[in-house]
């Protein structure tokens, strides 16, 4: 009878120890439970890879090396094409050269990104440092801003590229439309020039500038300051060159913008 009672006590003690172990494990697990799990939500997964693991799941080493190999193959193929002569080689050379000479359409890509994702593409800092010209017309705001108030000294028919606008001395020159500044420097027939690339793949050129207030690859708003017109020979007025380019051809700016 005593042995039977001892056996029952041993079983009860064993069960008690097992319950204590389970409670202890539950308490330890609770200490490491995330706030999401404590409130009944699923735990948000995260990746914390170590040096012994393969790497982040978003970065596949095999795919990375494949892209490097593919790039090397493309370079090798282009080199072989330019080393060979022949009908097919010449046509490939022309196609490759044309592709490399085309300007990347920063403004068009930026507008597409903003239309689909709702925010400007911010690969580069956006610096808007100009004053806006106020619209004098009634109703909706015009599509284009007048680069500067003045009169035309030389029309488009003289050189088939640009017009020359006479302004007041020290007059600011404004961007006719928002876009990306793709060039700042010297251009033949234009002097000190700023070229702005627009989302419709057109370009506006502002030449013969005394000073430049835009920055290369800057996104610039319509009506923002591009620079300052240079003084005329007599020093009493200012002037600058203005051109609009669509594709490979210049068009008469008067067809787009009316100067006073």
Q: What is the pLDDT of residues 152-175, one digit of tens each?
A: 999 999 999 999 999 999 999 999
- The pTM assigned to this predicted structure is 0.53
Residue 152: count of CB within 10 angstroms of its CB: 15
CATH topology of domain 106-260: Glucose Permease (Domain IIA) (2.70.70)
More confident residue, 132 or 214: 214
Q: Pick from 174, 170, 177, 205: which is nearest to 191 by CA?
A: 205
More confident residue, 49 or 126: 49
Q: How do residues 174-218 score in pLDDT, each as one tens digit?
A: 999 999 999 999 999 999 999 999 988 899 999 999 999 999 989
DSSP state of 253: G
- 55, pLDDT greater than 70: no
């Amino acid at each position: 009878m005593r042995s039977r009672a001892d056996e029952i006590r041993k079983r009860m003690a064993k069960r008690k120890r097992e319950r204590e172990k389970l409670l202890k494990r539950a308490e330890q697990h609770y200490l490491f439970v995330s706030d999401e799990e404590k409130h009944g939500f699923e735990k948000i997964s995260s990746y914390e890879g170590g040096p012994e693991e393969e790497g982040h799941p978003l970065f596949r080493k095999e795919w990375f090396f494949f892209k490097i190999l593919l790039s090397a193959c493309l370079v090798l193929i282009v080199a072989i094409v330019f080393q060979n002569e022949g009908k097919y080689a010449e046509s490939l050379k022309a196609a490759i050269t044309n592709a490399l000479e085309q300007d990347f359409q920063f403004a068009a890509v930026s507008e597409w990104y903003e239309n689909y994702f709702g925010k400007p593409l911010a690969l580069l800092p956006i610096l808007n440092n100009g004053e806006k010209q106020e619209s004098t017309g009634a109703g909706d705001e015009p599509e284009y801003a007048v680069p500067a108030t003045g009169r035309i000294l030389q029309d488009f028919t003289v050189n088939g590229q640009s017009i020359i606008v006479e302004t007041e001395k020290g007059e600011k020159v404004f961007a006719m439309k928002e876009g990306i500044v793709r060039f700042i420097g010297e251009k033949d027939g234009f002097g000190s020039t700023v070229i702005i690339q627009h989302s419709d793949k057109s370009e506006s050129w502002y030449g013969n500038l005394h000073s430049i207030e835009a920055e290369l690859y800057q996104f610039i708003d319509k009506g923002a300051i591009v620079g300052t017109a240079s003084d005329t020979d007599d020093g009493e007025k200012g002037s600058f060159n203005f051109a609009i380019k669509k594709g490979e051809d210049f068009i008469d700016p008067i067809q787009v913008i009316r100067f006073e």
